[in-house]
Every structure is written in C-alpha cells, then in structure tokens.
Amino acid sequence: MRPLYIAGKKISIEKDPISTKTPWWMTVIAVVLALVFCAGFMLLNGNNPITVFSKMFSGAFGSLYGLSETLLKAIPLMLCGLGVAIAYRISVWNIGAEGQFVMGAIAATSITIYYPGMGAFSSITLMLLAGFIAGALWALLVAICRSYFDVNEVICSLMLNYIAILFLSFLVFEPWKDPNGFNFPGTAIFSSSQKLPALDDLRLHLGFLIALAAILLYAVLVKFTHWGYQLRLLSANANAARYAGMNVKRQIIIVLMISGGLAGIAGMVEVSGVTHRLSQGVTSGYGYTAIIVAWLARLNPIGIVISSILCGAVIVGGYSVQLIGLPASMALMIQGAILFFVIGGEVFSQYRIRVETISPKKNEQTSSSKVEVL
C-alpha cells in the first residue's frame, strides 16, 4: 500500500512479521463494533438501539424461562461449534455441520421408528450412537473427496447439506409421515422413553450436560494425548507433520468424522430433547451459526461455551424484540455482523501501522517510532 504523508510524518501499513495470534480483546472489540453497526440499522428504522438491546438482553437472560431458552439454543450450537472448530484447527473448512446435524437427527429418529418400545436408557444411548455415526458417515463423504480426490471440502460439505435437507423432506413427507398427524409433514411424537429428560416446567434438557461433557473431553484429549499433539502439529504446520511421518490424510479423515459425528449428536439432541419429532424445520440453521460460534471462540473449548450462549442469547433476544415490531431475523443480522467483524479483525491484526518522522534529507529516517495498532 502506498504510504501516506501527513505533517512531516510517513504513515504506512505493513504486514506484521511477528504477529500471528490475534489477542483475545480483538474479539470483544469486534462484537462491540458489530452491535454498533447493527444499532445504525435500528436507528435507520426509527428504533432506539438501546431499548432494542436491553429488550433483547432481558429477553435472553432476564427470567428463568429466558435463561433456559438461551441455554437450550446453546446446546446444538456448542456441539456443532465444537465439531467445526476441531476441523478448523487443522484448516479443514467443514461447513457441512448443517447436513451432518440433519443426518444425525434422521438416524436418531430411525431408532424411534424401527426399534420402538425400548427402555429409556437403551433407546437414548442407541439414538446418540446412531446420531454420531450418521453425522460421521456424512462427513466421511467429504473426507474421502478431500483426501483422495483433492476436492475442495467447502463446496463438497456445503452441497451435501442440501442433499441431507432434501432427504429429510422426503422422509417426513412420505415414508415416515405420522399417519395421525393431519397430513402435517413430520414423524409421530416420540414416546417418553425416547425423549431426553428435561428440567421441570422448563425446556432445558440433558443435552446441555452432553454438550458440556463433549467439550470437556475434547479439551482434555487435546491437552494430554497423542492425538492432541498430532492435531497441534498438524494445525501449526502440515508440511512438518507429514515430514515427521504422520499420515495426514488419515488424520483429516478422523478429524472430519469426529466433526461430523458431533454435529450428528447435536441433531439427535435436538429431536430427542426439543422438537420430540422429526420435522422439516429441525435445524433452523444451527449448523451455519456454529461457524460463527467457532470463530468467535477462536476454536478454544471454553470460548465455544461462551460464544454458544452468546449466540443463543441473540436468537432468543431476537424473538423478544418482535414485541416492539422488529423482525426476529434481527438475530441473523447481528450474527452476520459479528462474523464479519471478527474475521475483519483477524485480518487487521496481522498488520501494523508504522509512523515515521521524515527528516528533510530524502530517504533517511532520523527517528522512526513504530506504533502498533490492532
């Protein structure tokens, strides 16, 4: 970029050779900027942004019910977010969490349809297993294409989402439609032994603990095991990993299958804990929001818990602002803006601004002071 000359100073922007890690407060700034950005739109629509935000906040956290709803939304986000974060760690851009989620939901439902009448423990365990396997297999398709045929995993995983969603539609419209459902496209309501236990009077269910356990397990594995070391090496330098004798292709396949499996569990948890049936709108975009969750968390396990709750709160808060005449899709706008600013901040943090005082003599800097910004 061409330097700027102002008042005897040369201001240039250059790539910072040292910085590769973005400081954590960048994320906070990005979120704040995203909210300010959205506030601008609210002002344009004649709403007071402060009222809107406080309404959203109290909707999401102000009551026990609101809190429970926020955490409820955070469950699939945590699981899918963790799934994509694992893949992103080794630079595999799985954006197929949506499809893997759907396949997990379908597989879990298939257990309720083909093996009804089992005890609560066995049916829930079987459903979890089915969800994981289905999600993992769906991701395996991506992994094979990526590892052996050099197909871009972004396109491959994205396209598989549509296939999964259409397959879901087929199932709920035709073979699995509830015969007593007044022609409504959806399976029959699960029996109580197929539902995840929930808190009294609230919708928050056991899935929250499952998600937390998954995150904890991941954190421990990464910190203490071979596999964690392999992931660390692979994410730091894939060439070096290959040079050290690691089978990089196999590692990519394993990671993608775990990634998909987690999204599949999210799908199971959603049908068994919230909707209690398989219907068309089962995903509501959790698989895509998970991408925001993962980036916001900088792929850090604890960060994923926090950012999932934040994104859950934005969704729940979005419902509550409907009362003052704003659409619930406000939540989508905020999420989009957050992702935009977080990724923008990522780019900016790799640069630094350099201010040099130029002496009258050409091409000679008498005093040069570096000011690092961002």
- Closer CB to other proteins, residue 175 or residue 226? 226
- Closer CB to other proteins, residue 167 or residue 227? 227
CB of 293 to other proteins, least distance (A): 23
Max distance between CA atoms of the chain, in angstroms, equals: 89
The amino acid at residue 126 is L
Residue reference for tokens 């429970």: 68
CB of 224 to other proteins, least distance (A): 5
Give the C-alpha separation, 231 to 241, whole Å: 9
The amino acid at residue 360 is P
**Residue 118 φ then ψ, to 5°:** -90, 165
Contacts of 322 (CB under 8 A, 6+ apart): 328
The amino acid at residue 335 is Q
Among the listed residues 45, 224, 368, 369, the single contact to other proteins using CB under 8 A:
224
Q: Would you give the binding string for other proteins spanning residues 351-370, x where CB under 8 A is met?
A: ------------x-------
Q: Does 57 bind other proteins (CB under 8 A)?
A: no
- Closer CB to other proteins, residue 7 or residue 18? 18
CB of 325 to other proteins, least distance (A): 49
Give the C-alpha separation, 112 to 108, whole Å: 7
- What are the beta bridge partners of residue 368? 356
Among the listed residues 20, 180, 183, 367, the single contact to other proteins using CB under 8 A:
20
- Closer CB to other proteins, residue 21 or residue 200? 21
The amino acid at residue 20 is T
- Closer CB to other proteins, residue 246 or residue 333? 246
Whats the size of the chain, residue-wise? 374
CB of 243 to other proteins, least distance (A): 5
- Closer CB to other proteins, residue 29 or residue 246? 246
- Confirm if 81 and 297 have CB atoms less than 8 A apart: yes
Q: Would you give the binding string for other proteins spanning residues 230-249, x where CB under 8 A is met?
A: --xx--xx-xxxxxxxxx--
CB of 372 to other proteins, least distance (A): 16
Structure-token pair, residue 188:
């029959």
Q: Does 183 bind other proteins (CB under 8 A)?
A: no
Per-residue DSSP letter, 90: T
- What are the beta bridge partners of residue 183? none
CB of 264 to other proteins, least distance (A): 24
Number of residues that bind other proteins (CB under 8 A): 23
- Closer CB to other proteins, residue 155 or residue 236? 236
- Confirm if 101 and 287 have CB atoms less than 8 A apart: yes
Q: Does 226 bind other proteins (CB under 8 A)?
A: yes
Per-residue DSSP letter, 121: H
Judged by the rule CB under 8 A, the positions of this chain that interact with other proteins are 18, 20-21, 224-229, 232-233, 236-237, 239-247, 363
